[in-house]
């Protein structure tokens, strides 16, 4: 007897589209090199599929957030090419970084002290220029412990690059103000949206994330970024309902006629959150099957009245153009990607 059975959810990853997106963003970065943010399981796409594709396209540096993410990425690329954005908060994490050659991103005086006490060495340094998350405060850049660091890449992070905001230029000025204070070899500032802001934001390295995986954070990217993730879900039951029957929790849909409906194996536990239900549909052989009622944890119900050939076990396409789905549902493109559940059988196409 097999240990596992086939999933009733599939996520096809378009390897060529992913590579195209990185190559386009790298070209847009001008003289800067584009790294690749592969945190959160490569934004939900799957590290085992995304990292080799990005590596083969030419990406040579990769960013994760958590130390626990390192091992899965290191299967595919040299540990020296991996940087950990959250930095070392314990001696154990600092020793782990040194033992593998992983690059810690230092975000505070506390982390700088931990890294130096563990023996120091190559690191990146994040300076907060206005987003007020992780990052060294501008008032701390002259601290003696910062001067002891062997900083490879001096970094900061844009808060509003997806908007034409005065904040972008303000952060750029703040970032530039520390160049002469902190010794460093390279500079990195722009995320996906920041790349589209132009050469002044590129420096030596850009750090795209969302746009690699099909997200479009600024209009300048809309014509060139390709969809990467294509989810499918199986039909697990077909049933007939009568006029007056309600569908799903709270009977928010009530049939106005006799209908054929299909129960589909996807729900909010799989990242198909409730705001994606109203007014939406799934696809079968080019036909649209409207979603009926509320999204459940593990399933949705769709109108299959016009799909006479549909059978239990058939696969339906879940529309997943990130900018379109975000605009329709109100869910951010980042959340659409990173909430994809672990019940999908992921594969490259």
**240 shares its domain with 285:** yes
Question: Residues 254-283: what's their mean pLDDT?
Answer: 98
- How large a percentage of the chain has pLDDT more than 90? 98
The domain boundary, picked from 215, 240, 269, lies at: 215
CATH number at residue 251: 2.40.37.10
How many structural domains comprise the chain?
2
39, 268, 294, 334: the catalytic one is 39
326 in any annotated domain: no
Question: Residue 128 has which token pair?
Answer: 């907060």
**182 shares its domain with 233:** no
Summarize the chain as % helix, strand, coil (round to 5): 35, 25, 45
Give the model confidence (pLDDT) of 49-75 as tens digits.
999 999 999 999 999 999 999 999 999
The domain boundary, picked from 167, 185, 215, lies at: 215
pLDDT at 53: 98
**244 shares its domain with 205:** no
184 in any annotated domain: yes
**Whole-number Å distance between alpha carbons of 113 and 300:** 52
**143 shares its domain with 277:** no
pLDDT at 317: 98
| pLDDT exceeds cutoff 80 at 102 | yes
**259 shares its domain with 146:** no
CATH number at residue 42: 3.20.20.10
**Whole-number Å distance between alpha carbons of 158 and 194:** 7
Strand partners, 261: 239, 303
Catalytic residue at 39? yes
Question: Residues 161-176: what's their mean pLDDT?
Answer: 98
Question: Residues 19-46: what's their mean pLDDT?
Answer: 98
Question: Residues 276-304: what's their mean pLDDT?
Answer: 97
224 in any annotated domain: no
Instruction: Tell me the average pLDDT of the chain.
Output: 97
The domain boundary, picked from 215, 247, 271, lies at: 215
**Whole-number Å distance between alpha carbons of 22 and 254:** 46
327 in any annotated domain: no
pLDDT at 277: 96
Banded pLDDT at 3 (limits 50, 70, 90): confident
pLDDT at 4: 84
Question: Residues 165-182: what's their mean pLDDT?
Answer: 98
Give the model confidence (pLDDT) of 217-261 as tens digits.
999 999 999 999 999 999 999 999 999 999 999 999 999 999 999
331 in any annotated domain: no
The range of the structural domain enclosing residue 208 comes to 15-215
**162 shares its domain with 256:** no
| pLDDT exceeds cutoff 80 at 1 | no
**142 shares its domain with 29:** yes
Upper half-sphere CA count for residue 340 (Cβ side, 13 Å): 29
7 in any annotated domain: no
pLDDT at 285: 95
**269 shares its domain with 211:** no
**243 shares its domain with 192:** no
pTM over 0.95: yes
344 in any annotated domain: no
**75 shares its domain with 146:** yes
pLDDT at 147: 97
**66 shares its domain with 198:** yes
Angle, CA 331 vertex, CA 326 and CA 335 arms, to 5°? 100
3 in any annotated domain: no
What is the side-by-side order of every strand in the sheet holding 36-37? Answer: 33-34, 205-206, 186-188, 150-155, 122-126, 103-106, 82-84, 62-64, 36-37
Catalytic residue at 285? no
| pLDDT exceeds cutoff 90 at 194 | yes
Phi, psi of 186 (to 5 degrees): -135, 165
**199 shares its domain with 234:** no
185, 230, 249, 268: the catalytic one is 249
């Amino acid at each position: 007897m097999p240990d596992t059975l086939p999933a009733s959810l599939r996520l096809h990853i378009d390897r060529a589209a992913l590579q195209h997106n990185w190559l386009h963003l790298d070209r847009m970065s001008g003289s800067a090199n584009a790294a690749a943010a592969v945190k959160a399981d490569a934004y939900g796409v799957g590290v085992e599929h995304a990292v080799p594709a990005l590596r083969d396209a030419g990406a040579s540096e990769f960013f994760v957030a958590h130390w626990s993410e390192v091992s899965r990425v290191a299967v595919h690329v040299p540990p020296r090419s991996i940087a950990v954005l959250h930095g070392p908060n314990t001696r154990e994490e600092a020793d782990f970084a040194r033992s593998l050659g992983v690059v810690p991103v230092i975000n505070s005086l506390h982390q700088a002290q931990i890294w130096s006490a563990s023996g120091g060495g190559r690191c990146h340094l994040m300076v907060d220029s206005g987003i007020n998350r992780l990052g060294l405060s501008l008032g701390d850049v002259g601290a003696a412990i910062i001067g002891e660091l062997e900083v490879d890449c001096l970094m900061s992070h844009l808060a509003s690059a997806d908007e034409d905001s005065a904040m972008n230029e303000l952060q750029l000025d703040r970032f530039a103000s520390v160049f002469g204070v902190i010794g460093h070899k390279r500079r990195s500032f722009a995320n996906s949206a920041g790349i589209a802001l132009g050469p002044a934001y590129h420096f030596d390295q850009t750090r795209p994330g969302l746009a690699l995986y099909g997200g479009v954070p600024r209009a300048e990217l809309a014509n060139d970024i390709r969809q990467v993730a294509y989810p499918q879900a199986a039909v697990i039951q077909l049933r007939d309902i009568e006029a007056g029957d309600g569908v799903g929790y709270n009977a928010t849909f009530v049939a106005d006629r006799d209908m054929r409906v299909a129960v589909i194996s996807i729900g909010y536990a799989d990242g198909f959150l409730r705001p994606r239900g109203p007014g939406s549909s799934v696809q079968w052989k080019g036909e649209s099957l409207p979603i009926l009622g509320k999204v459940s944890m593990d399933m949705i119900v769709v109108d299959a009245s016009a799909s006479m050939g549909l059978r239990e076990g058939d696969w339906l396409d879940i529309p997943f153009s990130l900018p379109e789905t975000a605009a329709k549902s109100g869910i951010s493109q980042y959340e659409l990607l990173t909430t994809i559940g672990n019940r999908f059988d992921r594969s490259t196409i």
